[in-house]
Structure 1
Amino acid sequence: MVTRRAWRWGLGLGLPLAVLVLFLALFRWDWLIPIIESQAAARLGRPVTLQHLHVSLGRTITVTAEGLRVGNPEDFPEDPPLAFLPRTRIDVALKPLLRGDIVIPAIELEEPRVELIGREDGRTNYAFDTGGAGGGGEEAGGPQIGALRIRDGQVHAAIAGLQADFNIALNTEDPPEGEPALLAEARGTYAAQPITARFRGGAVLNLRDAERPWPVKLTLANGPTRIALRGTVRDPIKLAGADLRLDIQSPDAARLGPLTGVSIPPTPPFRATGRLDYAEGRFRFTDIEGRLGNSDIAGTTTISLGGRTVLTADLRSRRVDLADLAGVIGGTPGRAGTPGQTPEQRRAIAERQASPRLLPTSPISIPRLQKADIHARYHADQIRGEGMPFDGLEAIVDIEDGVIRLHPGKFRVGRGEITADATLTPQENGMLRAKADIELRRVDISRLMQAAGAGGAGTIGGVGRIETAGRSVSEMAGNADGELTMVTVGGNISSLLADLSGLQFGKALLSALGIPERAQIECLIGDFGLTRGALRIRTLLLDTDSHVVTGSGVAGLGREVLDLRLRTESKRFTIGSLPTTIAITGSFKDPTIAPEVGELAARAGAAVGLGVLFAPLALLPTIQLGVGENSQCERLTEAGRGQEAERLR
C-alpha cells in the first residue's frame, strides 16, 4: 500500500520535473524570436528580424542578440537597412527587474551599421511614429543605462534636403581610469560643402545623472566655417543644464543658414563666441561677443524648434559700419581690405566699386525668409565711415510668414532722428511689395556739417511716404510712388550742401550757383513728388541772407540719372549780378554741373528782393514739422501767397 502511494506521488512530482528538465534541455531562446520580431516591428513601424538570441541567467542576466536588422519603411530599398547590428550584448540586473525596474549596467555593440536616408520630397527612413509614446526619461519608466561600448560603428547619412552625404565613425574609448568615453568622427559633405567633425563625450553611464555633468567637446569644419563647442551638459537626454562655450568663425554668416535652419543674409567675415544652452525647446546663444567685418556685435539669439522655426535676436554694436549690413538689402557687404575676406568677396567688392550704379541690383531673396519667423532688435551706439553724418541706429524687425515689418528703423543725427516704418510683403511672382512712412525730426544740421569738417547750426524736419514693388532695391526704386516734404531753418549753406552732396561736388555746386561759402540759411522748403521712379521737384526754395535759389527737374531713381535745374537770384542788385541757372546732369555716382547755355545773355537784369515766382501755399501746415516755430519760412510763404494773388489780378 505504501509502495503504491509512493509510486503515485513519485509519478505526480517526477513526471512534471522530468518534462521540465527535458524542456530546459531542449529549449532554445531562438524560439522567442518571432514574438520579439513582431512586437519590435509593431512598435518601430519597421520590419525587424533577428538571427539568433541567447540568454545567460544569473544575478546579472546577459542577453546576446546576433544579426539584428531594422529595415526601411515602404517605398525605400530593402538594402542597406536602416540598422544592422551583427552582435549586441546587453546586461540586465536581476534584482531591480524583480521590482519592475530595468537597470542595464552595460551595452556592447559590435560593428553596428546605420543608414540614414532623406529624399527630396522630405520623406526619411529614420522618422519614427511610435504612437505618441512619451519621450523616455526615468519619469516615463525608461531604463537606466550604464556603460555603452561601441566597436567600429558606422553611420552613413545621405539627406537630399540638407545637401548632405557624410559618414560617421563611432567608437568608445576605455581610458586607464574612469568610464568609457564616446568618440565620433564625421567626414563628407554638408550643405554642398566639405565637412569634417570630431566629437568626444562622456560615458553613457552619466547620461541621466544630473549630479555628474556630461563633458562635451566638438570641433567642426563645414567648408570655410569653423565651429568649436566645449563644456558640460547636466542632462544630455533633455539637453538641459548646459554650460557650453560656442565659438563660430566664417567668411560669411550666410553659410550658417544650413546649419541653423534660418536664412541669414550675406555678410563680411564673421566670428562670435558665447554661451550655448537649451531649455523648453529653445537653443539660446547668449553673452555673444564678436565681429562682423569692421563692426563689433554683441547680444543674445534664440532659436525655437518644433514646428516652425523661430529666431529671436537682441543685438547691439558699439560701432557699426553700414557697409557691413549691405547684404540685408541685396548689396555687396563689407569694404575692401577687411581682414579674412575670401577671393570671391574681394572680387564682388571690386565689381561694386567699378559699377556705375549706386543701388543694389541683386534680387532680395524672399522665399528663403519664408522658412522661419524672425524677431530682431538691433541697436548701434555709433556709425562709422568716412563723412558719415549718422550717430546711431535702432531697428525693430519682425518677419512672419515672409512679411517683413520694420517698426521703426531710426537713424540718430545729432539731437534729431530719421525714422521709417515699413512693411515689405513678398509676392508669388518673386517680387517684393513695400510701403514706408518716413519722418525727419529735428535732424541736426551741425552734425551734418561736422561730417564735412565744418560748423554751423539749424535743424531739418519733414515727412515722406513711398510705395513700390520689385525684386531688387534698384528695381523697387524704379517703380516707386510717393512724396517728400521738408523744411530747414538756420545753418550754413556751404557746409550743408557740401555734406548732402559730397564735399567736392558741394563746393563745385556753390561756385556754380554764385553763393558765398558762408551764406546763412534763412529758410529751405522742398516738396518732391515720386511717380514710377521719377523724383520730381514740385517746389524748392533756398533763402539765404544774400540770395534765393529755386529748383526744378527730375531724378530717375531706376536708371540713376539726374536732370535738375537750380537758379540763383540775388536779393540786392549789383553790377554784374545776373540770374544764373545751372544744370545738374549725369548719374548718381558721377554727376556733372554746367551753366545753361545762353542763359546769362537771355536773362540779363536782376531780380530784387523776392522777385521770383514762388507758390508753396500747400506747404504751410508742414513748415513747423520737426523744427518748431519758423517765422522766416512763414513770412516767405505769406509773401508767395501775396505774389500769387497779385499775379492773378
Structure 2
Amino acid sequence: MASRRQWAWGLGVGLPLVALALFLALFRWDWLIPIIEAQAAVRLGRPVTLQHLHVSLGRTIRVTAEGLRVGNPEGFPEDPPFAELPRGTVDVAFAPLLRGKVVIPAVELEQPKVEMIGRPDGSTNYAFHAAGPAGEGSGEGGPQIGALRIRDGHVHAAIANLKADFAVNLNTEDPAGGDPALLADAKGTYAALPIEARFRGGAVLNLRDAEKPWPVQLDLSNGPTRVALRGTLKDPVKLAGANLRLDVQTPDMALISPLIGVPITRTPPFRATGRLDYAEGRFRFTDVEGRVGNSDVSGAYTVSTGDRTVFTADLHSRRVDLADLGGLIGGTPGRAGTPGQTPEQRREVARAEASPRLLPTTPISIPSLKKADMHVRYSADSIRGQGIPFDGLEMVLDIEDGVIRLHPGTFKVGRGEIAADLTLSPQENGIPHAKAQIELRRVDISRLMQAAGAGGAGTLGGVGRIESTGRSVSELLGNGNGELTVVSVGGNLSALLADLSGFEFGKALLSALGLPQRTQVECLIGDFGLTRGALRVRTLLLDTDSHIVTGSGVAGLGKEVLDLRLRTDSKRFSIGSLPTDIAITGTFKNPSIAPEVGELAARAGAAVGLGVLFAPLALLPTIQLGVGENSQCERLTQTAQGREAQQQR
C-alpha cells in the first residue's frame, strides 16, 4: 500500500513537472504574436504585424522582435507602411518588475523606417490622437529607459500643407568611455525652401535621470533662416527642465511662420536670442533680446501645442522705427538702408518709395489668421517715423478666429495721446468689415513741432470714427463712411504745418497762404465728413494773431487725390493783404499748391476780417474736446453767429 501511495504521489508531482518541462521545451514565443498584433492594432488604430518574437529569461529579460510592421490608417495605401523595424531588442530588468516598476536598461533598433504622409485635405498617417499636450504627462509612471541605440534609421516626411519633403537619418554613436549619443541629419525642402539640420542629443543613457541633464545641440537652416539651439534637458521625454538658448536670424519674420505654425506679418531683417523651455503645453521663448530692422525688441513669446495654436507675446522696444511695422497694415516693411536687407527687400523698398500710392494695397489675409489665435501686448518708449517725435506707443492686439481687435493702439504725444480702437471681422463674402474709433486727447503741439526745430505751446483734441469693408487699408479707406472733428488752441502755425505736412510742403503752404514764418495759433477748428471714401471739409477755420484761414473741398481716399481750397483773410486791411484762394491738388504722395489768380482779381474789393468767416455752428456742442481753455474759439463762433444773424435781418 505504501508503495502504491508513493507511486501515486510521484506521478501526481512528477507528471505536471514533466508536462511543464515538455511545454517549456516545445513552447514558441511566436504563439503570442496574434494576441500582440490584435492588442497593438486596437491601441494604434491601424494594422500591426510581427514575424518573429524571441524572449530570453534571466535577471535581464531580453525581448527581440523581428519583422515588425505598423500599417497606415484606413484610406492610405498599404505600401509603404507607416513604420517598419527589421529587428529590435529591448532589455527589461526582472527584479523591478516584482515591485511593479519597468526599468529598460537598453533598447536597440536596427534599420527602423518611418514614412510620414500629409495630404492636401489635412489627413495624415501619423496622427495617433494622443491625449494631452505633446510631451506632458507622458512619463508619469512610465518605463525608465536607459541606453538607446539606433543603427541606420530613416524617416521620410512628405506633408503637402507644409510644402515639405525631407528625409532624416538617425544613428547613435558610442564614443570611447561614454554612452551612446543620438545623431540626426535632415535634408530636403520645408515651406518650399531648402532645409538642412543637424542634431546631436548627447548621451541617451537614462533619459529621465535628473542628475544627468541631457545635452541638446541643433543647427538648422530653412532657406535664409538660421536657427541654433544649445543647452540641456533634465527630462527629455516630457521636454521638462529645459536650460536651452535659442538664436534665430532671418531676413523676414514671415519666413518663421511655417516653423512655428503661427501667421506672422512681413518684417525687415530679424534676429533674436533668448531662453527656450516647455511647460503647461506651451513652448516659451523668454528673456528675448533682438532687433527688427532699425528697432530693438525684448520680451517673451509663447506658442501652445494643443488642438488649436495660440500665440502670445509681451514685447517692448526702447526705440522703434515705424517703417519696421509697415507689414502690420499691408505696407512694405523697412526703409532704404536698413541693415541686413536682402536684394529683393531693397528692390521692394525702392518700388514702394517710387510708387505714386501712399496707402498700402496689399490684401489682409484673413484665412491665414484663422489658423491660430494671437494675443500681443507691445510698448515702445520712443518712435522714429515721418519726422514726428512721438513719445511712445502702447498696443494690445487680439486675433481670435480671424477677428482682429486693436484695443487700444495709443501713440503718446507729450502729455496727451492719440488713441484708436479697431475691429476687423471676416464676412461670408470674404471681404473684411472694419469699425474704428479715434481720439486725440490733449495732444501736445509743442512735441509735434520739434522736428521743424521750433518751439511753441498748445493742445490738439479730436474725435473720429470710420466703418467700412475692404481687403486692404486702401480699400477700407476708399469705401469708408464716418467723420472727424479736431480743435486746437495755441501753438506755432509754421512749425505745426511743416511737421504735419512734411517740411518742404509745409513751407510752400505757408508761403502760398501769405502767412508769416512765425504766427501764433489762437484757434483751429476742423470738421470733416467721410462718405464712400470721399473726405469732405464741412468746416475748416484757422485763427492766428494776424490772419484767418478758411477751407473747403474734398480728399478722395480711394484714389488718393486732393481737391482742396484754402482762403486767407488778414485781420488788418492793407493794399498788400487782399484775400486770395489757393488750390491744393494732386495726390497724397505728391501734392501741389497754386494760387487761383482769377479768383483773386474777382474778389479784390471783397470784405475782409471776420465778415468772411464761415461759421462752424455745427461744432458748438463738440468744441470742448479735451483741449483745455478755448475761449478764443468760442469767441469766434459767437461772433460768427452774430454776423450771420445780422445778415438774416
Deviation string 1:171-211 (CA, Å, 9 cap, x unpaired) is: 11111123211111111111111111111113343322223
Of the structure 1 ranges 201-210 and 370-379, higher mean CA displacement relative to structure 2 is found in 201-210
Q: 1:137 to 1:448 in 2, by over 3 A?
A: closer
State the partner residue of 1:284. 284
Residues of 1 paired with 2:87 and 2:548: CA distance? Answer: 94
Letter of the structure 1 residue corresponding to residue 467 of structure 2: E
Q: Which residue of 1 aligns with 2:638?
A: 638
Whether contact under 8 Å (1:406, 1:423) holds in the other structure is yes
The 8 Å contact of residues 139 and 237 in structure 2, kept in 1 or not, is answered as no
Aligned positions of 1:374-523 closer than 5 A = 374-385=374-385, 387-523=387-523
Q: Specify the alignment match of 2:525 in structure 1.
A: 525
CA-to-partner distance for each residue in 1:573-619, whole Å, 9 max, x for gaps?
Answer: 11232111111111111111111131222111253431214221121
Contact (CA 8 Å) 2:135, 2:239: kept in 1 or not? no
Shift of 1:490: 1.3
Change (3 A) 1:209 1:77: same
Report the CA distance between 1:273 and its aligned residue. 0.6
Deviation at 1:156, TM superposition (A): 0.9
Letter of the 2:460 partner, please give it: I
SS in 1 for 2:467: strand
Could you give the per-residue CA deviations for residues 39-96 of structure 1, whole angstroms, max 9, x where no partner exists? 2222222211111122222211111111111111121111111111111111111222
Q: Distance in 2 between matches of 1:570 and 1:158?
A: 76
Report how many residues are paired.
649
Distance 1:608 1:82 in 2: 89
Change (3 A) 1:131 1:219: closer
Measured in 2, the distance between the counterparts of 1:455 and 1:266 equals 38
Cα 1:320–1:58 change in 2 (3 A) is same
**Residues 249 and 134 from structure 1, CA distance in 2 versus in 1: closer, same or farther, beyond 3 angstroms?**
closer
User: For residues 180 and 191 of structure 1, what CA distance do their matches in structure 2 show?
Assistant: 33
Give the 3 Å change call, closer, same or farther, for CA 254–18 of structure 1 in structure 2: same
Q: Counterparts of 1:550 and 1:410 in 2: how far apart (Å)?
A: 30
Structure 1's 345 and 136: CA in aligned 2 closer, same or farther, altered over 3 A?
A: closer
- Do the aligned residues in 2 keep the contact of 1:107 with 1:147 (CA within 8 Å)? yes
| Higher alpha-carbon deviation: 76-85 or 26-35 | 26-35
Could you say which residue in structure 2 is the equivalent of 1:113? 113
SS at match of 2:637: helix
Taking the aligned partners of 2:577 and 2:120, their CA distance within structure 1 comes to 76
> What amino acid does structure 2 have at the position aligned with 1:370?
K
Aligned 1:348-387 pairs, distance under 5 A: 348-385=348-385, 387=387
SS of residue matched to 2:274: strand
What residue in structure 1 maps to residue 575 of structure 2?
575
Kindly tell me: are residues 133 and 603 of structure 1, through their superposed partners in 2, closer, same or farther at Cα, counting changes over 3 Å?
A: closer
- Partners of 1:534 and 1:411 lie apart in 2 by 26
Counterparts in 2 of 1:530-569, with a 5 A limit? 530-569=530-569
Identity of aligned residues (%): 78
Q: Which runs of 5+ in 2 are unaligned?
A: none
CA distance in 2, matches of 1:296, 1:174: 44
Distance 1:132 1:216, change over 3 A: closer
TM-score by length of 2: 0.96
Corresponding position of 2:316: 316
Correspondence for 1:304: 304
Q: Aligned equivalents of 2:134 and 2:376: distance in 1?
A: 34
Q: Alpha-carbon deviations, 1:140-180, whole Å to 9, x = none?
A: 54222111111111111111222211111111111112321
Structure 1 counterpart of 2:331, one-letter code: G
**Cα distance change, pair 600–213 in 1 and its aligned pair in 2 (3 A):** same
Report the CA distance between 1:15 and its aligned residue: 3.9
In structure 2, the partner of 1:81 is 81
Equivalent-residue separation in structure 1 for 2:134 and 2:332 (angstroms): 49
Give the counterpart letter for 2:611 in structure 1: G
CA 1:406–1:7 in 2, change beyond 3 Å: closer, same or farther? Answer: closer
Mapping of residues 200-279 of structure 1, within 5 Å: 200-279=200-279
Aligned residue for 1:637, secondary structure, equals helix
Are 2:165 and 1:185 equivalent residues in the alignment? no
* Counterparts in 2 of 1:303 and 1:224: CA distance versus 1, 3 Å: same
How many Å apart are 1:621 and its aligned residue? 2.6
Structure 1 match to 2:171: 171
- Conserved? CA contact 1:262–1:309, under 8 Å: yes
Secondary structure of the residue aligned to 1:237 is helix
Q: Which moved more, 1:525-534 or 1:19-28?
A: 19-28
Range that drifts further, 184-193 or 204-213: 204-213
Q: Aligned equivalents of 1:340 and 1:133: distance in 2?
A: 37
| 1:359–1:31 CA distance, 2 compared to 1 (3 A) | same
Structure 2 equivalent of residue 336 of structure 1 = 336
8 Å Cα contact 1:569/1:606 also seen in 2: no
Question: Greater shift after overlay, 490-499 or 281-290?
Answer: 490-499
Counterpart position of 2:346: 346
Cα separation, 2, equivalents of 1:397 and 1:142? 41
User: Is the alpha carbon distance of 1:10 and 1:632 closer, same or farther for their aligned partners in structure 2, counting shifts above 3 Å?
Assistant: closer
Letter in 1 for 2:247: D
**1:229-283 Cα deviation digits (max 9, x unpaired):** 1111122222222111111111100111111111000001111111111111111
Cα distance between partner residues in 2 of 1:607 and 1:281: 76
Q: Deviations over 1:94-122 (max 9, x none)?
A: 22223332221111111111111122222
Cα deviation code 1:476-532 (max 9, x no counterpart): 111111111111111122112211211111111111111111121121111111111
**SS across alignment from 1:611:** helix
Letter in 2 for 1:394: E
Summarize the Cα distance change of 1:4–1:496 in structure 2 as closer, same or farther, 3 Å threshold: closer
Cα separation, partners in 2 of 1:112 and 1:339, compared to 1, 3 Å = same
Measure the CA separation in 1 of the matches of 2:132 and 2:361.
50
3-state DSSP of counterpart to 2:380: strand
Q: Label 1:215 to 1:82 Cα distance change in 2 as closer, same or farther (>3 A).
A: same
Deviates more, 1:134-143 or 1:200-209: 134-143
Task: Say if 1:138 and 1:101 are closer, same or farther in 2 by CA, change over 3 A.
Answer: farther
CA RMSD, Structure 1 to Structure 2 (Å) = 2.0
Cα deviation, residue 2, structure 1: 6.5
The amino acid across from 1:73 in the alignment is P
Query: How far apart are residue 364 of structure 1 and its match?
Result: 1.1
Cα distance in 1 for partners of 2:234, 2:427 equals 46
- The 3 A distance-change label for structure 1 pair 140 and 395 is closer
Which secondary structure does the structure 1 equivalent of 2:257 belong to? helix
Paired AA for residue 297 in structure 1: V
Amino acid at match of 2:584: I
Q: Which runs of 5+ in 1 are unaligned?
A: none
Greater Cα shift, 514-523 or 320-329: 514-523
How has the CA–CA distance of structure 1 residues 616 and 102 changed in structure 2, closer, same or farther, with 3 Å as cutoff? same
CA–CA distance in 2 between the matches of 1:79 and 1:361? 48
